[in-house]
Amino acid sequence: MSVFGEDGFSTRQVHVGADAIDASPRALPIHLTAGFRFGDFDGAANHFGTGDGFGYTRTGNPTIEAVERKLASLESGVQAQLVASGQAAVAITLLGLLSAGDHLVVSNHIYEGTRGFLLDSLSRFGITTDFVGDIDDPDAWRRAIRPTTRVLFTESIANARNDLVDIAAIAAIADEHGIPLVVDNTLATPYLLRPLEHGAAIVVHSASKFLAGQGSVLGGVIIDDGRFDAERSGALFPHLVARTRTGGPSFAEQHGGLARIAYIRESVAPRFGPTISPLNAFFIGQGVETLSLRVRQQSANALEVARWLEARPEVASVDYIGLPSHRDHALAERYLPRGNGSVFQFTLRGGLEAARAFVESVRVFTHMTHLGDVRSLVLHPGTTSHAFRTDDEKDLQGVQPGTLRVSIGIEDLDDLLQDLDSALRATAAAAIGGSPIDGQAEGLTDTVPA
Ligand SMILES: *Cc1c(COP(=O)(O)O)cnc(C)c1O
């Protein structure tokens, strides 16, 4: 049947059956392949010359591209780049915008991995960062901007104190300076909030979290609004307006408003190389098909859990923007009409020992470092994600010895509350048996039932 019929065993074992069978699957086909066969001699030359079609998965893959289109659409963006992790999305975005000597202004309340990348990695390339403490104050952002500032960076909902930033106000400041506001929208998801609609220029995500949704794969995505203005901002981003190394037209000349994302797609992502597996891209695409359903249920559960925790005597405070007690609640009502997300922290009066007892007695909640999963998760930041922060830094994030971070899943609410109830009872028992720590003695007496 095939041209290989007459060939030897080894030739047939690699070639027979390798021709794609033409079919029309309803689900997204997984093009799990390093590269693509060229149609003919000119097709190969054309691909390398213009980038048309597919040649090698590091520079493009139909499965990956299908998911990129879906995510660009859901974030109200124009073009997206999927990468291997959320950390890669942050790194590739900033490497696509910044050069040695540049400066960026960043919200203080950001993911630890991003913070480390800025302070330990970008700093080695002469790129410096200033952090804004009072992120609600537009003037604090304005004051931090220098002549070398090229990016403002923030998270939409901060992990896990739930600080919110007025995206439109900060985007307006970025715009005054002709620089992009980049928003890590991992905790909000595009179902709850679309920063590009409020003036941000680029959105990044850890797709490992809510987008994939089931904790099975890592991925990240960069989504651009397609509105790079070479006339206004070209001088600030010379790599986007300069002729190419070989004298060809600049990215701005070739791609207009898409120059920024084109540079990321063609020059930064494939060269630094954190390519996502097409299989992982498939899982993310599959996850996103149920994003609205999951996030709606997770937000509804989280609000009920947060209200319930706030009413418990063992709990000193709950940092959830859905609660009127949160300082950014009014902002949340404006920016998050569909729900307030499902990742937040709360602090036990019983301190470290209570936290230990809590994480060791949950049954429905899973004790792990992840978020945005269909399953409810709990973590003790003080001894894990924030263990190497100074006490001042922990204070700033509201991370105390008794603080726990939760990511609320889609389980039945009654089962979650029952699990939390028995875990809180275990903390009371630990407080009776344990000794006061870290000045929490006052709290401990509160915890012990009379
Ligand atoms: C998890 C996370 C990241 C990093 O994503 P990975 O997929 O783990 O690399 C970045 N930002 C935020 C807000 C996150 O929660």
Best residue among 206, 222, 283 to mutate for probing ligand 1, ranked by most atoms within 8 Å of CB: 206
How many domains, the chain? 2
Specify whether the CB–CB gap between 255 and 226 falls below 8 A.
Answer: no
Q: How far, in Å, CA of 323 to CA of 327, rounded?
A: 9
| Shared-domain flag, residues 255 and 389 | no
Q: How far, in Å, CA of 270 to CA of 14, rounded?
A: 28
Helix H or strand E segment including 306: helix 291-310
Report yes or no on 17 lying in a domain.
no
Distance 87 CA to ligand 1 centre (A): 6
- Exposure string of 94-110, with b = 16+ CB inside 10 Å and e = fewer, is bbbbbeeebbbbbbbbb
Find tokens 């300082």 and name the residue.
327
| Shared-domain flag, residues 263 and 399 | no
Distance 316 CA to ligand 1 centre (A): 28
The domain of 198 spans 56-288
Distance 214 CA to ligand 1 centre (A): 15
Q: How far, in Å, CA of 78 to CA of 417, rounded?
A: 42
| Shared-domain flag, residues 420 and 274 | no
Which residue's CA lies nearest to atom 5 of ligand 1?
Answer: 86
Which residue's CA lies nearest to atom 7 of ligand 1?
Answer: 86
Distance 211 CA to ligand 1 centre (A): 12
| Shared-domain flag, residues 327 and 394 | yes
Report yes or no on 8 lying in a domain.
no
Report yes or no on 446 lying in a domain.
no
| Shared-domain flag, residues 215 and 328 | no
Distance 118 CA to ligand 1 centre (A): 14
Q: Going residue by residue through the chain (450 aa), what tens digit of pLDDT does each one get?
A: 456 778 999 998 998 888 777 888 999 999 999 999 999 999 999 999 888 899 999 999 999 999 999 999 999 999 999 999 999 999 999 999 999 999 999 999 899 999 999 999 999 999 999 999 888 899 999 999 999 999 999 999 998 789 999 999 999 999 999 999 999 999 999 999 999 999 999 999 999 999 999 999 999 999 999 999 999 999 999 999 999 999 999 999 999 999 999 999 999 999 999 999 999 999 999 999 999 999 999 999 999 999 999 999 999 999 999 999 999 999 999 999 999 999 999 999 999 999 999 999 999 999 999 999 999 999 999 999 888 888 888 888 889 999 999 999 999 999 999 999 999 999 988 776 544 444 343 433 333 333
Residue ending a domain, choose from 262, 288, 314 = 288
Report yes or no on 18 lying in a domain.
no
Distance 205 CA to ligand 1 centre (A): 7
pLDDT value at residue 404: 98
Specify whether the CB–CB gap between 231 and 204 falls below 8 A.
Answer: no
Please identify, by atom number, the ligand 1 atom nearest to the C-alpha of residue 159. 13
Report yes or no on 84 lying in a domain.
yes
Best residue among 106, 110, 186 to mutate for probing ligand 1, ranked by most atoms within 8 Å of CB: 186
| Shared-domain flag, residues 248 and 316 | no
| Shared-domain flag, residues 260 and 301 | no
Please identify, by atom number, the ligand 1 atom nearest to the C-alpha of residue 343. 15
Distance 121 CA to ligand 1 centre (A): 16
Q: Kindly report the CA angle at 314 between 311 and 318, in degrees rounded to 5?
A: 55
Residue ending a domain, choose from 233, 259, 288 = 288
> For residue 306, what is the domain's CATH number?
3.90.1150.10
> For residue 211, what is the domain's CATH number?
3.40.640.10
Report yes or no on 251 lying in a domain.
yes
Specify whether the CB–CB gap between 278 and 61 falls below 8 A.
Answer: yes
| Shared-domain flag, residues 238 and 374 | no
Pocket of ligand 1 (CB under 6 A): 85-87, 111, 113-114, 155, 159, 184, 186-187, 206, 208-209, 218, 220, 371
Number of CB atoms found within 10 A of residue 67's CB: 28
Distance 184 CA to ligand 1 centre (A): 9
**What is the secondary structure of 140-165 as a DSSP string?**
HHHHH--TTEEEEEEESB-TTT--B-
Best residue among 154, 192, 209 to mutate for probing ligand 1, ranked by most atoms within 8 Å of CB: 209
| Shared-domain flag, residues 236 and 264 | yes
| Shared-domain flag, residues 124 and 221 | yes
| Shared-domain flag, residues 263 and 337 | no
Report yes or no on 30 lying in a domain.
no
Beta bridge mates, 56: 35
Report yes or no on 425 lying in a domain.
yes
pLDDT value at residue 2: 52
Residue ending a domain, choose from 288, 305, 329 = 288
Q: How far, in Å, CA of 356 to CA of 427, rounded?
A: 8
| Shared-domain flag, residues 300 and 281 | no
